[in-house]
Chains A and B, each alone.
Chain A
Amino acid sequence: MITVPIEHVILMAAILFSLGLTGVLARRNVLFILLSIEVMLNAAGIAFVAAGARWAQADGQIMFLFILTMAAAEVAVGLAIILQYYRHTGTLDVDAMGGGRR
């Protein structure tokens, strides 16, 4: 397949993870925060698949499957909570919550 050094793949996963983390910290819109968390989870999945490929094991891919399952369950509940939040307040701003962000 490819002869890319493993650290380049991990580096890409780390870039995506960092971008996701930036989004979580910088955005105020809770929908974007959830999307940024998805980016982070996906980056962790890439790291798992790369690690599995390094050791020629299926375990990394299986962990990706579990991450996929978790992302689906989490987004379903998360979006439901966000919809309720919007119905209550008419905004998606996290900083508008009582007591602010921190």
Chain B
Amino acid sequence: MNTVFYISAAVAILSTAMVISRLNAIHALLYMIVSLLAVAMIFFVMGAPFIAALEVIVYAGAIMVLFVFAMMMLNLGQEAVERERNWLSPASWAGPVTLVAVLFAEFIWIVSRTGGSLPGGGGLGPKQVGIALLGQYLVGVELASMLLLAGLVGAYHIGRRMPRTGEENEASRAGISIKQ
């Protein structure tokens, strides 16, 4: 089981590195799904099967599909890949990579001074999660529904297509409102 964890972790890290470095958005998205699947594997071996299932169903299944839809609507082609290549000069990586490397070195030090290990045995199945979720976290579930309402209304309002896009492009640059 331990080997499973380390292999999944390696896959997750490698594929995430690919996500942030790809030029083609669809390729990045595929790597992202690989990464999420690897993380689901880790959840499973950590004794959280319910969360593992949700990671696949909601994250890899639903949220990533939203990204796919957006990319299809944007209709990015080969020229987008070329543009990305120009944007991503090696120099543009140097700063962030160094910064994050420093942060990360600090983190290794912190973790090296922390003890404790995962308790062996059973894990927490959907039953325990469900009892806690609809027990002491009931208010949280209600609030989560309000959060989804905000997401729904916001996406509906912002996402609606505007008629007569040609003129509005020009007008919007000048910051003038066009009434429908």
Asked if chains A and B come from one complex, the reply is: yes
Contacts beyond the supplied A9-B42, A16-B16: 7 A-B pairs with Cβ under 8 Å: A3-B1, A16-B13, A23-B20, A26-B88, A28-B88, A42-B59, A69-B144
Residues of B within 8 A of A59 (CB): 132
Contact of A77 among B13, B39, B45, B151 (CB under 8 A): B151
Residues of B within 8 A of A76 (CB): 66, 151-152, 154-155
Least CB distance from B96 to A in Å reads 4
Question: Top 9 closest A-B pairs, CB basis?
Answer: A73-B151, A23-B20, A80-B159, A25-B96, A80-B158, A58-B132, A76-B155, A77-B154, A26-B96
Residues of B within 8 A of A26 (CB): 20, 88, 92-93, 95-97
User: B100 touching A54 by the CB < 8 A rule?
Assistant: no
Size of the chain B interface, CB-CB below 8 angstroms: 87
Contact of A12 among B12, B36, B48, B69 (CB under 8 A): B12
Majority secondary structure of chain A interface residues (helix, strand, loop or mixed):
helix
Given contacts A76-B155, A83-B70, contact A4 B129 (CB under 8 A): no
User: A74 touching B74 by the CB < 8 A rule?
Assistant: no
